[in-house]
Amino acid sequence: MSVIYFLSDAHLGGDEESIESRKRQDLVAFLGRLRRGDRLYLLGDVFDFWFDFGTPPPADQAAVLAALEEATRRGVGIAFMGGNHDHWARTTRHPGYLETIVGLELIDDPHTLVVDGMRLLLCHGDALGGARGTYRIIRAVLHHPASIFGFRLLGPRIGRWLAARTSTLSRRSHQPEAQVVYEDRLRSAAREVLSSGRYEAVVAGHIHRPELLTTDNGVYLNLGDWIEHRTYGRLESGKLTLEDFDRSGHDDDS
């Protein structure tokens, strides 16, 4: 029986090499375990930065990209949703590298998934319930076609340097108190979606805190991350679970 998997927030390319190499190794191993007929939904920030400049991607992404391509070739369906770090998989009117070479399907945020009558709302999580405050403006600007066109003109060298610098400054500005606020806000937004009666489950990422919450109205699953927690979601026979990646492969037996 085929299984549906959900994964987010690997932030590939965002850490020092000792951490990156382990992330890549574990993600490649995870992808290698997917079977023909399975489906994987990547729900944002798989890459710490991805912008399709129309040039070959960074060399340090090669192993994961090859594993993704190999998985699609053997019959695994893989859908890619951009997050707040890797939204720009298609920067022109034409499909980009992830679609044409790797074979991924791009999906919008949010995305409705219906499986055997079960309705799930899939999202990255940065805008569930609507982006707020200053971030609403920043997000709108970054997603605007004019901004994307202008950034593409910078070219990969300057563009990736600027993105790396911005990402570093953003991490340094994060405060523990704010993290709790983000977690509560996303959980509340998911509860509101579930209370509408339109969905049986909400699956999100973004906050890097794995959580599986069952309410009277449905299930909220936060996927955590692939940096510290190595967690992912699994849907099989109508049951949605939160899983820990096991390097031994024993998680395949669940």
- Cα distance between residue 235 and residue 193, in whole Å: 19
The pLDDT, as a whole number, for residue 208 is: 96
Split at pLDDT 50, 70, 90, the class of 253 is low
- Cα distance between residue 77 and residue 111, in whole Å: 16
> Judging by DSSP bridges, how do beta strands 111-115 and 118-122 pair with one another?
antiparallel
Query: What residue numbers bound the domain in which 206 lies?
Result: 4-253
- The residues near 219 (Cβ < 8 Å, ≥ 6 apart) are 194, 200, 201, 202, 212, 213, 240
The mean pLDDT value for 208-227 works out to: 98
Higher pLDDT, 16 or 173: 16
Tokens found for residue 226: 């692939």
Q: Write the burial class of residue 85 (CB in 10 Å: 0-12 exposed, 13-18 middle, 19+ buried).
A: buried
178-211 burial: b if 16+ Cβ within 10 Å, else e: eeeebbeebbebbbebbeeeebbbbbbbbbbbbb
pLDDT of 254 strictly over 60: no
Closest among 141, 145, 127, 150 to 81, alpha carbons compared: 127
Domain harbouring 145, CATH code: 3.60.21.10
- Cα distance between residue 153 and residue 138, in whole Å: 20
pTM of the predicted model over 0.85 = yes
Q: Output phi, psi for 225, to 5 deg.
A: -160, 175
The pLDDT, as a whole number, for residue 252 is: 62
The pLDDT, as a whole number, for residue 3 is: 97
Lowest mean pLDDT among 16-25, 76-85, 132-141: 132-141
Closest among 146, 142, 137, 42 to 84, alpha carbons compared: 142
- The count of structural domains within the chain is 1
The pLDDT, as a whole number, for residue 229 is: 97
Q: What pLDDT digit, counting tens, does each position of 176-210 carry?
A: 777 888 999 999 999 999 999 999 999 999 999 99
What is the number of helices (H) and of strands (E) in the chain? 6, 11
3-state secondary structure of 131: coil
